[in-house]
Each structure stands twice: as structure tokens, then as C-alpha cells.
Amino acid sequence: MDKNFPKPKKESIIYEDRFLYSCLASQPMAKSHVLIVWKKKVKDLHLLKRKEYEYLMDFVDSLRNSMLKTLKIEKVYLFYMDEAKHVHWHLIPRYNKKGFNVLEEKPKELKDFSLASKIKENLKW
């Protein structure tokens, strides 16, 4: 595993295959904050092969839809930030805050992982 992405706790995993994994964020910026991490170390999104990019984005779309259904919300923000120099997405649900206000939350250590299985149940992948 990449030092920027230590192995997530088993109970936080929503989905995993040979290309990527998704899990609840260990330091969530909002309740139900999810990460999607490309397993192969690739520094930036544009360096993925076309098929890899399409696979990743199709999964992002499916997981977002699962979150919308599971959480009964209208919006999930998709954040791609490449400071870690490793392809990954942050999927952050919008509850009652809009825009960049969601980024003002102070992350806290996640202790309850029960949501992972609920999101997984609604994942069409």
C-alpha cells in the first residue's frame, strides 16, 4: 500500500477488486465521506489508460448513485485532489451545507463502520 493510503480497516471497505477499492474515510470531512482509491500507483488522473479511466469513472458514478439511495440525499460532491500524487476520489455527501462549506468541517476519527455494508447493498456494480 502507498504511504498516503494505509490499508483501510476491513469493516470500512465497501468494494474491492484488482483495480480499486472504496471505503469509508477514516477521517471523514462529513458523515458518510467515502474514498475510492486506484490500487496501482498512478500520480495523476490523466496518466490512466483510457480503459482504466473509464472503469474508474463508471465505478465513481455507481458508488455515488448507491450513496444517494442509501443516504436519501440529493447530492454527493466528487473531489479529485492530486496532492497525494496517487489517483483517488473523495465522495462527500451534501446534507444541509452547500458549496465549499463542506470543506470547513473538522475531520474526526471514524468509529462506526456500519454504513459501509448499507452502501454496499445498494451498489449496482
Range with the lowest mean pLDDT among 15-19, 49-53, 101-105, 108-112? 101-105
C-alpha cell at 77: 460532491
Taking the C-alpha atoms of residue 99 and residue 36, their distance in angstroms, rounded to an integer, is 21
Please give the class, per CATH, of domain 10-121. Answer: alpha beta
- Which tens digit of pLDDT belongs to each residue from 1-39? 556 667 889 999 999 999 999 999 999 988 899 999 999
Domains of the chain, by residue range, sit at 10-121
Taking the C-alpha atoms of residue 61 and residue 63, their distance in angstroms, rounded to an integer, is 6
Degrees, nearest 5: CA angle 59-116-80:
45
DSSP 41-75: --SSGGGS-HHHHHHHHHHHHHHHHHHHHHHT-SE
